[in-house]
Amino acid sequence: MIEAESLKATVESLRTRIFAIRDSLDLPSRQEKLAALERRMSVTDFWKDQEAAQKVVTELKALKAIVGPISQLVGRIEDVAALYELAVEAGCDETLAEAAAEVEKVSADLERVELRALLSGPHDSGNCYFSIHAGAGGTESCDWAQMLLRMYLRYFQSNDYQAQEVDRVDGEEAGIRSVTLYVCGTYAYGYLSCERGVHRLVRISPFDAQSRRHTSFASVNVLPEPADIEVDIAWDKEVREDIFHSSGPGGQHVNKTASAVRLIHTPTGIVVQCQNERSQHKNRAQARKMLAAKLYQAEQAKRDAELAKLYGEKGEIAFGNQIRSYVLYPYRLVRDERTELKNPHADKVLDGEIQEFIDACLRHRATTA
C-alpha cells in the first residue's frame, strides 16, 4: 500500500529540485534566446551563409535540449501534485498508485536533466572528433581497439549520434591500429569527453595457441569540433601537407587516387590525417579542423599543467591515464577507476551500455571540481 504522506514528501522534494534547476539555468532568458533563434531561422535568406546558419541550428538544438525537458518537468510536477490531492480527497488508492507511478517517471527524467545541466563547458553542447588508438601489444591491442570501436558505435546508435569515419589504420593481422570518427549530436563532446583516457582489457587471448591470459590497452581521445575555437595557425609557414593514397585492407573500397591528406604542424610536431572522402579538397578541410582541435587541446593541456604546478596537483592530467578496466577472465567485471563504479555484465557494457559510467563520471566531476 502506498503511503500518502511519503508520496507527498517526494512530490514536494521533486518540485523543489525542479524549480531550483529552472532558476539556476535562468530558464526565462534561455526561452527568449530560443525564440530569437527561431525568428532568425524563419528569415527567407537564412541558409545563404550555410556556415553561420549551421552554427545557429547547433545552438538552437542545444537550447532545446535544456529548455524543453525543464519546461515539461515544471508542468508535469504540477500535474502530479494535483493528481495526488485528488487521490487523497477521493480516498482512491488507484489514483494514488497512478500518481506514484508518474512520480517515478518524473524523478528519472529529472535526474537526466540534472546530469545534462552539469555539461556547462564552452564546447560541451557541440560535436566532436573521437579517436581510438591501440596500445603496445601488437595484434592483441589492435583487436581490443576494434572491440572498443564496436562498443562505441552501438552507443552512438542508441543515443541518436551520427558517426562518420574520418581516418582509419587497420592492424596487420586483425583489428585496428587507430580510427578517428566525427561524431555529431547534441552534447556529444560533453558526454563523450568522459571516455577520454586508457581502457584496459584482461582476457584469454584468442590469438594465443596456449590460451594464456593477456592484458591489452587502448586509448581514447576526444576533441571538440573547432566551430568557435580561436586557434592562430600560419597555414603556409607552420603546416606541411602530404598527399597519399588511402590505406586499407584492400579491395574495391580502397581509394586508388591520391586524395588522402596528412598535415604536420612543424612547431609542435602534431600530425593529423584524413582519408575518408574521395575528394582531396574535403579531406583537407576535415584535416584542418582536426588540426585546429588538436592544437586547442594541446594549449588547454599546457594551461592545466601550469595550474597543476601552481596548486600542487600530482599525476598526469586527463589524457594518458587509465580510466576503466574490462575483465573477462578469470571473472567478468567492468570497473571505472575514477568513480569505482562496477558492472558485472561485461557483455552488455561491450554491447554499448555505457551510459551509467558516463553519468557517474559527470557526477564525479561535479563533486571534485
Task: Look at residue 310 in the predicted model and tell me its pLDDT.
Answer: 47
C-alpha span between 369 and 359 (Å, rounded): 15
Task: Look at residue 317 in the predicted model and tell me its pLDDT.
Answer: 30
C-alpha span between 243 and 283 (Å, rounded): 10
Task: Look at residue 308 in the predicted model and tell me its pLDDT.
Answer: 58
From residue 195, alpha-carbon distances to 104, 105, 140, 221, 347 in Å are 29, 28, 21, 8, 18
C-alpha span between 107 and 196 (Å, rounded): 29
Task: Look at residue 313 in the predicted model and tell me its pLDDT.
Answer: 42
Cα dihedral 328, 334, 338, 341 sign: negative
Task: Look at residue 309 in the predicted model and tell me its pLDDT.
Answer: 58
Q: For the chain, which residues score pLDDT lower than 70?
A: 1-2, 227-230, 247-257, 306-320, 369
Under CATH, to which class is 4-117 assigned? mainly alpha
pTM score of the predicted model: 0.78
Task: Look at residue 314 in the predicted model and tell me its pLDDT.
Answer: 38
| Domain-wise residue ranges, the chain | 4-117, 137-369
Task: Look at residue 14 in the predicted model and tell me its pLDDT.
Answer: 96
Nearest to 363 by CA among 118, 112, 69: 118
Task: Look at residue 192 in the predicted model and tell me its pLDDT.
Answer: 97
C-alpha span between 90 and 4 (Å, rounded): 12
Task: Look at residue 228 in the predicted model and tell me its pLDDT.
Answer: 59
Q: Provide φ and ψ at 126, rounded to 5°.
A: -100, -170
Under CATH, to which class is 137-369 assigned? alpha beta
Nearest to 242 by CA among 278, 277, 283, 276: 283
DSSP at 313: -
DSSP at 195: G
CB proximity list for 149: less than 8 A, separation 6 or greater: 132, 176, 179
What is the tens place of the pLDDT at every residue in 256-267?
567 899 999 999
Do 137-369 and 4-117 have the same topology in CATH?
no
Nearest to 62 by CA among 117, 112, 129: 117
Task: Look at residue 233 in the predicted model and tell me its pLDDT.
Answer: 87
What is the tens place of the pLDDT at every residue in 334-357?
999 999 999 999 999 999 999 999
DSSP at 353: -
Task: Look at residue 253 in the predicted model and tell me its pLDDT.
Answer: 47
